[in-house]
Amino acid sequence: MSGGAPTVRAVVMDLDDTLYDCFTQCVGPAHREAAKAMVEAGARATVDEVLDARLSLVGVEHDLDDAVAACFRAVNPVRVAEAGRRAFDDRDPGPLAPFPFTAEVLRRVRATARLVLLSMGHPGTQEKKVKALGLEGAFDEVLFDDVFTRRGKEELMRAWLARSGLAANEVLVVGDRPDAEIAAATRLGMQALRIRGGEFGARPTPPGVPEAADLRAVLAYLGLPAIEAAAPASADARPAAPEAGQGS
């Protein structure tokens, strides 16, 4: 599948909606918590009204929290926006499950290439997510782009590439967002594979970038054997184990 492309020596993986279903497990609950925090910070609206505004403006406005805060009267809109931002990005994600094949795909990729996790968000929250997914220790390196300082994925990857000793075209970037990690990869001259699904699934894949329905496509891209229909038990065992007495 990689055709004439150079051998991949490192794979940079996005986290949210690439390694697990973030849209269902995190995004909905986070927007509701953010709406509640914005009302508590003084937005003159109901939680449902603020939630509707968030969901209608997401991906449209560069700064969602500022835009939503501006929709409603408040004594201090800056405080309202900040409350939303904090509640959305700095939260305990609770229990999370990766896709059933995620751990096995990562294991196989790591056996042939350096494996790097790249994720944007609040580093504390992103770390909690990795832990909740049982993926601690699954990567050679972890790069978190702090949403509150916003270096951007491209800048983060450029800095990583410079110290990696690799050529840009020896790196494969795998992610779901055409406007974030996929755009950054193509601008930096890296190979890219777009996983199409989740919150940004409706956005088109840029021309020339291969796309796939899920992470297992990375194996084919790298010329590795496919995972059989039923994933090995070891890949499922941990996330599937129910924990008694949680959250009550």
Which residues would be at the binding site for Mg ion (CB under 5 A)? 14, 16-17, 176
Closest contact distance (angstroms) between CB of 19 and Mg ion is 9
Smallest gap from Cβ 12 to Mg ion, in A, equals 12
Closest distance to Mg ion from the beta carbon of 177 (Å): 5
* Burial label, 25 (beta-carbon count in 10 A; 0-12, 13-18, 19+): buried
- Residues paired with 143 in a beta bridge: 118
Smallest separation (angstroms) from Mg ion to the CB of 216? 17
For Mg ion, the closer CB: 39 or 173: 173
Closer Cβ to Mg ion, 124 or 232, answer by number: 124
Which residue in the shown chain puts its C-beta closest to Mg ion?
16
Per DSSP, which regions of the chain are E strands? 10-14, 114-121, 141-146, 171-175, 191-195, 211-212
CA geometry: angle 136, 137, 143, nearest 5 deg:
80
Residues 6+ apart with CB under 8 A from 38: 50, 65, 68, 69, 72, 80, 81, 83, 84, 87
Six-digit token string for 167 = 């050529």
Least distance from Mg ion to the Cβ atom of residue 40, Å: 29
Of residues 14 and 170, the one with the C-beta less far from Mg ion: 14
Q: Which is nearer to Mg ion, 89 or 176 (CB)?
A: 176
Beta carbon nearer to Mg ion, 17 or 89? 17
* Angle in degrees, 0-180, between the axes of helices 64-71 and 77-89, rounded to the nearest 10: 140
